[in-house]
Structure 1
Amino acid sequence: MIRAGGRTAARAEVEALVPLVAPFAPHMAEELWERLGHEGSIFDGAHWPAFDPAKLVESTVEIAVQVNGKLRATISVAKDASEENVVSLARGEENVARYLDDGTERRVIHVPGRLVNFVVG
């Protein structure tokens, strides 16, 4: 069908793209629609891709890991991960572990879904 960079685009990909191009390049979209084997105009029916709200839900979140308030790493964790899991993953980061080894850990501040801050003194 269409080759770009050694990859052939799937028919479903092209059929989803053509209606999106139609408002900006209607003549080209009509030609592509016809070459894909469709009868009639692309503007005859509603060919817009359907909205799927499930695709907007993220299952992971990025957590900032700080030592004494300074960003040392970011980690990806499951959205519903427990505080213990998040803190243990944060401690496992190489850059964070280096700073934790230098001093005694006084406090761990965990803001769910946002950050973990190790206060070292």
Structure 2
Amino acid sequence: RSGGRMPQRSEVEPLVVMIAPFAAHLAEEIWEIYGHSKSIFTGTNWPECNPDKARDESVELAIQINGKLRATITIQVDIDKEVVEKISRTEKNIARYLETATVKRVIYVPHRLINFVLE
């Protein structure tokens, strides 16, 4: 290679591990070139999953009136039903429906939707 630096082993090996499920033959060859005697698919060289980073901190929540989508809001995942209902009632498009009708029932599916059933 001319005009640049050679990649470090610590830079190449994580990339080789990432391509291994898709291009196993190529990953095995590169893995052997870097001096490994065992297969890339054996051992503890796979990245560890951090479940905290995989969780969403906020979600899109659908707000329905009588089963019809009227608005969507973004909320934190750890909010309880009462807070979600309060936030939903203050949404501009929802408030206009609720001010002229009586809420018969509120259906809440956590992290998915809230549905106001009107009389």
The TM-score by the shorter chain falls in which range?
0.5 to 0.7
**Would you say how many aligned residue pairs link Structure 1 and Structure 2?**
106
Where does 1:1-121 land on structure 2 (aligned, <5 Å)?
15-26=13-24, 28-29=26-27, 30-31=29-30, 39-41=34-36, 43=39, 46-101=44-99, 103-113=100-110, 114-121=112-119
The RMSD of aligned alpha carbons is 3.5
| Cα separation, partners in 2 of 1:27 and 1:89, compared to 1, 3 Å | same
Q: Indicate if the aligned counterparts of 1:18 and 1:33 stay in contact, CA closer than 8 A.
A: no
1:14-72 per-position Cα deviation (integer Å, ceiling 9, x unaligned): 653321213543564344996xxxx4138365421112233343443443211122111
Q: TM-score, normalised by structure 2?
A: 0.58
Unaligned 5+ residue runs, structure 1?
1-10
Q: TM-score, normalised by structure 1?
A: 0.58
Cα offset, 1:112, TM superposition: 4.8
- Do the aligned partners of residues 17 and 97 (structure 1) sit closer, same or farther apart at CA in structure 2, a change above 3 Å counting? farther
Query: Does the 8 A contact of 2:16 with 2:30 survive in 1?
Result: no
Q: Aligned equivalents of 1:20 and 1:75: distance in 2?
A: 36
Identity of aligned residues (%): 43
